[in-house]
């Protein structure tokens, strides 16, 4: 029986790695006969574990001695939720991609949020852990988020966030044609009594904020901009784009006059960090939303 035939008959395969290789390439090699797209589908569907921890990164680096388990069929216990997609999970933390329209954390335990979705997922798996919020995205912002699975890991992340996170980037569609190809915005941000964040070029007792931007594409109506945060303040990107005179599309709260895609055009697409426990370098990146790209064609 060939390896491909054995794979077709079985829903579960276990392999021990004998050399350093990227995970996607390893799956295609071991499951000879399957296409690259099929291998990616198995990964994104949560069908692969490495040393008993689920991994979805295509470029995850395998080392000799690691044990890779590949499931052909989706486990019925895996989370299926249109608002939350699990990209990576281990004993200490979980990385997800959040859709727009859901809170990072509810104001009470019964409110629908990413945390409540994850807690239900853990409960269904009979795991004695809960999701601990270490950073947030606005309800209408989509993209990558990290949650700790225990209090100790949460404290490590919160107390060392700026040392642990090495790169955190967003993509946004902003109104108008951006004049500059790249630049930076710095100011002090402070909330007023109506919980609107306003910006000051001088220290007003608020929090210092610094955003770097790089214009990727533009037309007469919109610009696609890559944004890197040096600080992670509330509404930082939204306020800083307003400061430049180019509000984020769909952001009526901070000056936008149009909403052609019926959502806030802001997505957290990249998150790189040093694992708080294993000290491994972790890198996650998602595709830009298609409707973002369509606006600047």
Q: In the structure, what pLDDT confidence band is assigned to residue 73 with cuts at 50, 70 and 90?
A: low
Token code pair at residue 166: 């090495």
Measured distance CA(44)–CA(55) in Å, rounded = 9
Q: In the structure, what pLDDT confidence band is assigned to residue 223 with cuts at 50, 70 and 90?
A: very high
Beta-sheet pairing, 266-274 with 142-148: parallel
Fold of 167-268: Pseudouridine synthase (3.30.2350)
CATH hierarchy code of domain 79-159? 3.30.2350.10
Q: For the whole model, what pTM was predicted?
A: 0.75
**Phi-psi bin for 62: left (phi > 0), alpha (psi -120 to 50), beta?**
beta
Enumerate residues 6+ apart whose C-beta is below 8 A from 59.
Answer: 22, 23, 24, 283
pLDDT in tens, 14-61: 889 999 999 988 988 888 767 777 787 788 667 888 887 888 888 889
Closest CA to 183 of 212, 148, 209, 147: 212
Please give the C-alpha separations between residue 50 and each of 67, 96, 275, in angstroms, as whole numbers.
6, 18, 16
What percent of the chain has a predicted confidence (pLDDT) above 90?
63
pLDDT in tens, 119-171: 999 998 888 899 999 999 999 999 999 999 999 999 999 999 999 999 999 99
* 2 has pLDDT over 90: no
Catalytic residue IDs: 138
Same fold, 1-74 and 79-159: no
CATH hierarchy code of domain 1-74? 3.10.290.10
Where do the domains of the chain lie? 1-74, 79-159, 167-268
What average pLDDT is seen over the chain? Answer: 88
Closest CA to 171 of 215, 234, 219, 114: 215
Beta-sheet pairing, 61-62 with 21-22: antiparallel
């Amino acid at each position: 029986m060939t390896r491909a035939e054995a794979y077709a008959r079985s829903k579960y395969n276990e392999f021990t790695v004998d050399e350093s290789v990227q995970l996607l390439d390893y799956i295609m090699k071991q499951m000879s006969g399957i296409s690259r797209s099929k291998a990616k589908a198995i990964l994104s569907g949560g069908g692969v574990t490495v040393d008993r921890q689920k991994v979805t990164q295509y470029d995850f680096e395998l080392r000799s001695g690691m044990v890779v388990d590949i499931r052909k069929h989706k486990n019925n216990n895996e989370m299926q939720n249109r608002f939350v997609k699990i990209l990576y999970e281990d004993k200490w933390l979980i990385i997800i991609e959040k859709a727009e329209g859901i809170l990072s954390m509810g104001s009470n335990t019964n409110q629908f949020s990413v945390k409540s979705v994850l807690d239900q997922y853990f409960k269904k798996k009979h795991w004695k852990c809960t999701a601990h919020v270490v950073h947030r995205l606005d309800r209408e912002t989509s993209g990558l988020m990290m949650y700790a699975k225990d209090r100790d890991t949460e404290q490590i992340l919160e107390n060392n966030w700026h040392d642990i996170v090495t790169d955190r980037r967003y993509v946004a569609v902003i109104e108008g044609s951006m004049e500059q190809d790249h630049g930076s915005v710095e100011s002090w941000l402070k909330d007023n009594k109506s919980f609107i964040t306003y910006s000051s070029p001088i220290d007003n007792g608020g929090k210092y904020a610094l955003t770097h931007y790089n214009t990727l594409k533009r037309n007469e109506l919109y610009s696609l901009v890559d944004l890197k945060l040096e600080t992670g303040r509330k509404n930082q990107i939204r306020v800083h784009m307003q400061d430049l005179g180019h509000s984020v599309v769909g952001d009526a709260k901070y000056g936008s006059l149009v909403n052609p895609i019926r959502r806030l055009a802001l997505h957290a697409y990249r998150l790189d960090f040093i694992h708080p426990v294993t000290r491994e370098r972790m890198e996650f990146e998602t595709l830009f939303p298609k409707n973002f790209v369509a606006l600047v064609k």
